[in-house]
Amino acid sequence: MNQFTTDIVDALVKKQDITEVFRAHLETAVSTLLATELTAFL
């Protein structure tokens, strides 16, 4: 399993809201994408 699925399973086991898990991983993915795009542009 990767970190995303581990976090989802952990949240489900603890009966927490998984929206925060999705938001955090989406934020990381978008930040990485933008940083990579900026590096390639420069």
User: Residue ranges of the domains in the chain?
Assistant: 3-41
Contact 18, 12 (CB under 8 A): yes
Q: Mean pLDDT for each consecutive 10-residue tract of the chain (42 residues)?
A: 90 93 95 96 89
Contact 32, 25 (CB under 8 A): no
Contact 8, 21 (CB under 8 A): yes
Residue 3, burial from CB neighbour count under 10 angstroms (0-12, 13-18, 19+): exposed
Position 27 scores a pLDDT of 97
Q: How far is CA 11 from the centre of its chain?
A: 13
Amino acid at 1: M
Position 10 scores a pLDDT of 94
